[in-house]
Structure 1
Amino acid sequence: MTAVKKYALLPLCGLTLFCARAQMPATNYDESQVPAYTLPDPLTTIAGKKVTDAETWTSERRPELLSLFESEVYGKAPGRPEGLHFEVLSEDRYTLGNMATRREIAVYFTESDAHFMTILLYIPNKRTDAVPVFLGLNFKGNHTICDDPLVTESVSRMKPREEGGSEVRAKGFPRAAAASRWPVEMLIANGYGLATIYRGDIDPDYDDGFQNGVHPLFYREGQTKPAPDEWGTIAAWAWGLSRAMDYLETDEDVDASRVAVIGHSRHGKTALWAAAVDPRFAMAVSNDSGCGGAALSRRCYGETVARINSLFPHWFCGNFNRYSGNEAALPVDQHELIALIAPRPVYIASAVEDRWADPKGEFLAGVHATPVYELFGLVGLSGTELPQTDAPVLSGHIGHHVRSGDHDITLYDWRQFVKFADKHLKR
């Protein structure tokens, strides 16, 4: 076990407390009240064997940890469906002021054309070879990521809900509504393609009993919901990103060996899990991903396992509920999720005012994943205190910054991701 600094115990997590929804404790934003915890050692196998070389990590410890995360946190997902197939729905070689080629691609999940997701792909026109690509999910629809009038409007599958007394519409969001989060032109100018998918094409982000997304396509006869160790919504979204990767491997303008999977917030959780289970992703970027993403669960700071399972019961597998208010019993923690991506580069980004996502816990996950990167002769992160705000660490295979401001993904964030990608993905 990896020893960490001890703190006065506050009953926000541990074996003594299970939090029912109606009895949720106050959110802890006081560093002095982080409970005492000991992290599981990524370099000690279940049998107690010490891992001292990259080959043993790859052949023994990594599969062990991956299996634990599958069965206890995210849930097991199916592989590539036999009937998976693709169709280019549209192409424009002179979009964004002639800077880029835009394609819309349907990825059909079965032999039938009834169930599909649509990839929106932008490729720089100024290129001499296949290009590296950032791939990520979007929240509101493909048509919202930039002011491109010819992008097909994604149809929202989210049910209406009451918020502040007014109904949030279910039919979609305005064009370019999320453009501030997707600097398409900047990426194109720097030689990167961008591929994105509306997450509602894969699974809607609400608890519907797993009836309206991809899950029913893979139920066994008589099955009506995933088993306790089977995929929740985050694992389904990660599965969808792997199906997008299946397509990108066929596109001659994309260098599929240089695809970075990226995500903000819940999509940051998804990006990390996608990179952990699918080694085809050359790099992973997590932005403000918090609990179940980059932040250490055992710190019980901000968003906790109990809160995330209460507010978003569909995100994780059923077995994850065992650890609500019981984080000390988790057989894994999120530093080991980061370690599963080794030796591929990973970037962990936080925002100093986003205390819900626990910026320090995100940083420490990178620190405690570093010994695994060192097995491969690579540099990770070091330190025990959160680094200075707006001072990116780009030198190693685990990049990091904590940005001024709150929960968002901004142009500043993307500029650091591009600098990091230039180091690891550019030839």
Structure 2
Amino acid sequence: MTKIIVVTVLAAASAVCAAESGARASSPATLTPGVLQAGTPDVLKTIAGQTVTTVEAWEQVRRPEVLELFKTHVFGRNAVERPATLRFEPIEPDREMMEGRALRKRVSIRYSGPGGEGAIALTAFIPKTVRPAPAFVLICNRSSAKHIDPDRLEKNPFFPAEELIARGYAALAFHNGDVDPDVHDGFTNGVHAVFQPDPSVRKSDAWGTIAAWAWGASRVMDWIETQPGIDRMRVGVVGHSRGGKTALWCGATDTRFALTISNNSGCGGAKFNRMALPKSESIARINKSFPHWFCTNYKQYGDNEEALPVDQHMLVALIAPRLAYVASATLDDWAGQPGEFHSCVLASPVWRLYGQQGLVPGARTAPSAEEQASAAAMPPPDTPLQQGRVGYHLRTGKHDLSLYDWQRYMDFADRHLK
């Protein structure tokens, strides 16, 4: 019989709202029980059963193990990393914007492979400052015309470029669909078709669409490294919902990003799978709704989470010792807010190896039942936790990337990156 522990966490009133991942659950203002299954994988215990107590053991043994487990069982393996054919071409001449406070660059990030060519349209606003500026890269999973608009005729809090520039940050965004279409098309289009033109030979651990989008964000970083106006050592990657899952995988696989931000990423992102939350998305549901997002191997863990050799706290931990931030929303039961917070708690011991504070000081990877209950005491809504290298907040409102979220991310970056 599977042993379970019931943990009570605070959740605010929710309402039914439409969002990218499907229908959102609703509930009255109440205490929502989260059920933790026994057998949580220990992020600091190697496959051989050795406990990791040093940075060297983490970086040389355990971290590579965890990364391989995620590649094999969840996101898949990329067909290519930086292609030799990668090139950057201007879409139009650079232009001063925002009353002369920013320089806009529009770039086509182009590449080719056995199956043809691909391109990512990147919009970048760079503040006109003396020193190279820190930057945020948004993986945009909503309409690029409405949410990115390079001419700024359409302004949207999903990508508040003006606010970012005012705070001294470069603002960059690309649309995930430029890299790979968000449809289950048998991987016959997008970057998959460029580098693996014959989908019939795909392996069970071949990269899914989320891995492809993360690959696209890494190609943006390749371009950033050519830009004297951006400080490549102070760049954050940001994503919402499916984009949040993508940002986490990007931050785990590309250590050039100094900050990784997951906004309402839910199942397959920051949400801890072994916490049963009836109103949240499950592995079974996400694989049914979006079979192209993950590798084929991930499908065997629908309704079988306990067999998965990883959980999402280990994904967050792969970002250490760099900066990580996870955000939830009170009306976003579908994303499993308690599970998102819990992953931050259980990932924190890896930062401690580096002598740093994660989210919760003193948290262990395998705490007792009493410590688990204490650790799951989420902060009240709109009360950010930003002291450590792992940030978290629970915003009042629906499943969205809002100006409030961006303001908290900039606060966190002000504190730790500037």
Return the TM-score normalized by structure 2: 0.86
- What residue is the counterpart of 2:55 in the other structure? 54
Answer yes or no: is the 8 Å Cα contact 1:91–1:101 preserved in 2: no
- What residue is the counterpart of 2:184 in the other structure? 207
- What residue is the counterpart of 1:273 in the other structure? 249
User: Any unmatched runs of 5+ in structure 2?
Assistant: 8-24, 361-374
Take 1:300 and 1:225, find their aligned partners in 2: how far apart are those partners?
Answer: 36
- Considering only aligned residues, what root-mean-square deviation do their CA atoms show, in Å? 2.2
SS in structure 1 at match of 2:190? coil
Q: How far is the alpha carbon of 1:216 from its aligned partner?
A: 1.4
- What residue is the counterpart of 1:134 in the other structure? 136
Q: Percent identity, please.
A: 44
- What residue is the counterpart of 1:190 in the other structure? 167
Take 1:45 and 1:140, find their aligned partners in 2: how far apart are those partners?
Answer: 39
Aligned counterpart in structure 2 of residue 123 of structure 1, from 118, 121, 126: 126
Matched residue count: 379
Which residue type is aligned with residue 322 of structure 1?
Q
Aligned counterpart in structure 2 of residue 422 of structure 1, from 401, 414, 418: 414
- What residue is the counterpart of 1:284 in the other structure? 260
- What residue is the counterpart of 1:390 in the other structure? 382
Return the TM-score normalized by structure 1: 0.84
1:84 aligns with 2:86: yes
Cα 1:342–1:95 change in 2 (3 A) is same
Q: How far is the alpha carbon of 1:111 from its aligned partner?
A: 7.3
Take 2:268 and 2:358, find their aligned partners in 1: how far apart are those partners?
Answer: 21
Take 2:356 and 2:214, find their aligned partners in 1: how far apart are those partners?
Answer: 26
CA displacement, residues 191-246 of structure 1 (integer Å, 9 cap, x when unaligned): 000111111110111111111110011127x5436321010000000011011111
Take 1:388 and 1:212, find their aligned partners in 2: how far apart are those partners?
Answer: 44
The aligned runs of 1:2-401 (5 Å cut-off) are 6-7=5-6, 31-32=32-33, 34=35, 36-77=37-78, 78-110=80-112, 114-125=117-128, 127-145=129-147, 148-149=150-151, 176=154, 179-219=156-196, 222-224=198-200, 226-301=202-277, 302-382=280-360, 383-401=375-393
Q: How far is the alpha carbon of 1:294 from its aligned partner?
A: 0.5
Answer yes or no: is the 8 Å Cα contact 2:138–2:159 preserved in 1: no
SS in structure 2 at match of 1:214? helix
Answer yes or no: is the 8 Å Cα contact 2:127–2:169 preserved in 1: yes
Q: How far is the alpha carbon of 1:380 from its aligned partner?
A: 1.3
SS in structure 1 at match of 2:313? helix
Answer yes or no: is the 8 Å Cα contact 1:295–1:358 preserved in 2: yes
CA displacement, residues 87-119 of structure 1 (integer Å, 9 cap, x when unaligned): 122234321222211011111122799421111
Q: How far is the alpha carbon of 1:295 from its aligned partner?
A: 0.5
Which residue type is aligned with residue 309 of structure 2?
P
Answer yes or no: is the 8 Å Cα contact 2:271–2:335 preserved in 1: yes
User: Any unmatched runs of 5+ in structure 1?
Assistant: 9-26, 152-174
Take 1:71 and 1:333, find their aligned partners in 2: how far apart are those partners?
Answer: 13
SS in structure 1 at match of 2:200? coil
Cα 1:85–1:146 change in 2 (3 A) is closer
Larger relative strand fraction: 2
SS in structure 2 at match of 1:6? strand
SS in structure 2 at match of 1:297? coil
CA displacement, residues 267-296 of structure 1 (integer Å, 9 cap, x when unaligned): 000000000001001110000000000010
Answer yes or no: is the 8 Å Cα contact 2:34–2:275 preserved in 1: no
Answer yes or no: is the 8 Å Cα contact 1:216–1:224 preserved in 2: no
Q: How far is the alpha carbon of 1:141 from its aligned partner?
A: 4.4
